[in-house]
Amino acid sequence: MNCSMSGEVPEEPVVSKKSGLLFEKRLIERHISDYGKCPITGEPLTMDDIVPIQTGKIVKPRPVQAASIPGMLGMFQIEWDGLMLSNFALEQQLHTARQELSHALYQHDAACRVIARLKKERDEARSLLAQSERQIPMSMSTATAVNASALSNGKRAAEDEELGPNGKKLRPGISASIITELTDCNAALSQQRKKRQIPTSLAPIDAVERYTQLSSYPLHKTNKPGILSADIYYSKDIIATGGVDANAVLFDRQSGQILSTLSGHSKKVTSVKFVTQDDLFLTASADKTVRVWQGSDNENYNCRHILKDHTAEVQAVTVHATNNYFVTASLDNTWCFYDLSSGLCLTQVADASGSEGYTSAAFHPDGLILGTGTSEALVKIWDVKSQANVARFDGHVGAVTAISFSENGYFLATAAHDGVKLWDLRKLRNFRTFTPYDSNTATNSVEFDHSGNYLAIAGSDIRVYQVANVKSEWNCIKTFPDLSGTGKATCVKFGPDAKYLAVGSMDRNLRIFGLPGDDGPMES
C-alpha cells in the first residue's frame, strides 16, 4: 500500500474515515493544518477523521535492479527520462500561460484606451455644452469668406478668399457682441493714446548707455539648454521663460527665486505670455498644443486648458488688450482666435493664397489688427473683426522670427534672417532697415519697450535703438555682447520703464542687464 500523496510506502500510515485513502501521517497532518481539506477529494478533513494503522516492521527488500551496477544505471536512466518528460510538459504549460497572459494584457490595454477616448469625448462634449449655455445667443455660423483687396507694400494685390482648412471643426465664429467689445476697447485705447505722455520714470538714454549685465540665472535643464521665449508681468516684476527642455519657468526678479516650473508639454516651449488679469498664463509648444495655466494662492500654476486645434508646431501666442481673448499662430498655416475663459476656439483662419506656416504673431495695441509673420518671409496684416487679410509686406529673407508693434500704433518692427525692417502702418511701406549682422546670422527677436521710446534687437548680440520718426535717424545707443557663448540671443524683453533688459539665449541662463544699484539681487 502506498501513500496517496507521495506514492511511497508510508512509515506511519493513516487512513481517512471519509474517503478511505491511505496517507503518510506527517504529510496529511501538514496538509490539514494548512488547508483543512482532503488533498485528493477536496472535502473538509480534520485530524479526528484520521485513523492510524498498525503495520509490521519489515525491512523492505531491495529491488532487483538495485542489486547490480547496470541495473542501477537503468533505474537512473528511467528516472532521468521521466524528469525530462515532466520538464517538457511544464515548459509547454508555461508557454501556454504566457500566451494567455499576453492576450489578456492586450485586451486590458485596448479597453483602457477605449475608456480614455470615451472620457475625453465626454469631457469635450460637456465643455462645448457649458460654453454654448454661457454664450447664448451666439451666431453659429462660421466667419464668411471676405473678398478684400490686399495691399502688398502699398500696391494692389490679387484678392484672397479666406477659407477654413478642410476637415476642421465647425467653429462658432466671432459673434456680434464680441466684435462690439473689441471695437469699444479699440475706441477707448485710441482715445487714451492721444493723451498719452512719456512717463517721468522712464530710464533716460544716458542710463541705458551705461547698462551692464547685473545677473545670470540658470533656469532650465542642462541636458536640453536654450531659452526660446520670454515675457514679463510688469506689475509683479515676474519674468517667464520658455525653454527647449519643454518647461516654462516663472522667475521673481526682485527675490532672484524661481516661483514655479510648469511641466506638461512634450516638446520645446516656443512662446509664453502673461494675461494681466485673473492670474492666467499661456504657453505654446512644438507639440502642437497650447496650454492655459491658472495661478493659485501658493504661487503654483495648474493647467486649466489644453488646446489641440492646430496640426503643426504652434509658434506664437498673443493676448488681446481686453485680456478676454488670445490668438495662436502655427506652422499649419492657420491662426486661431480663442475665448480665454472657456478655452474655446471661436474661429480658425487660413490664408488660401499660400501654404507657408506662421512663425510669429502679435496684436496691434488697439486690438483690431493682427500681425503675423510666415516661414516664407511675408508679413501679413489681418482685420480681426472680419478675419480678412488687408495688407501684406514682402522684402525679408528667411522666416519672420518676431513681430512687435510700437505703443503709438504707427510702427511695426519685424525680424528675419536678413535683419529688422520698420514699417509705417499709415502708408503701408518700409521706411527703415537694420542689418546688424552678417548674412549667416539671423535676427531672432525684436521688441519695442512699453513707452515706445526704445527698440531692442537680439541675434549674435543685443542692440538697443532710440526710436525716432519716419524721417529721422534711429541711433543705436547700446550694444551688449552675447555672454552665453552660443552666439545666439533668442529673445529680449524690456522691464518696467525700461529699467532693465531680460535676455534669453541658447544656453539655459536668463540674463538681466541694467544699472548696478537698481532694485533686484546682484547675484551672478
pLDDT tens-place values along the chain, 524 residues long: 788 888 888 888 999 999 999 999 999 999 999 889 998 888 999 999 999 988 776 656 666 777 788 888 888 888 888 888 888 889 999 999 999 999 999 999 999 999 999 999 998 898 888 777 666 544 443 333 333 334 444 433 333 334 444 555 778 889 899 999 999 988 888 888 767 778 888 999 999 999 999 999 999 988 888 999 999 998 888 999 999 999 999 999 988 889 899 999 999 999 999 998 778 999 999 999 999 998 887 777 889 899 999 999 999 999 999 999 999 999 999 999 999 988 899 999 987 777 778 999 999 988 899 999 998 889 999 999 988 889 989 889 989 999 999 988 889 999 998 899 999 988 888 888 998 888 888 899 999 998 888 999 999 999 999 988 888 888 999 999 888 888 889 999 999 999 999 999 998 899 999 998 765 544 43
pLDDT value of position 519: 53
Q: Which of 484, 442, 436 is nearest to 463 (CA)?
A: 436
Pairing of strands 402-405, 388-393: unpaired
Q: Bridge-partner residues for 388, per DSSP?
A: 383
Q: Classify 226 in phi/psi space as left (phi over 0), alpha (psi -120 to 50) or beta.
A: left
pLDDT value of position 21: 92
Per-residue burial over 90-115, b if 16 or more Cβ lie within 10 Å, else e, is eeeeeeeeeeeeeeeeeeeeeeeeee
Fold of 176-196+203-514: Methylamine Dehydrogenase; Chain H (2.130.10)
Q: Which of 452, 456, 418 is nearest to 438 (CA)?
A: 418
Angle (CA) 418-242-423 rounded to 5° is 35
pLDDT value of position 173: 87
| Domain spans, the chain | 13-61, 176-196+203-514
User: Is the alpha carbon torsion for 124, 126, 131, 137 positive or negative?
Assistant: positive
pLDDT value of position 60: 62
Q: Which of 412, 411, 419 is nearest to 461 (CA)?
A: 419
Q: Bridge-partner residues for 212, per DSSP?
A: 514
Indicate if 176-196+203-514 has the same CATH topology as 13-61.
no
**How far from the centroid of its chain's Cα atoms is residue 444's Cα?**
22
Fold of 13-61: Herpes Virus-1 (3.30.40)
User: Which three-class secondary structure state does DSSP give residue 170?
Assistant: coil
Q: Give the CA count within 13 Å in the CB-facing half-sphere of 62.
A: 8
| Strand ranges inside 253-313, DSSP E | 257-262, 269-275, 280-285, 290-295, 301-307
Q: What is the pLDDT of residues 435-461, one digit of tens each?
A: 888 888 889 999 999 888 899 999 999
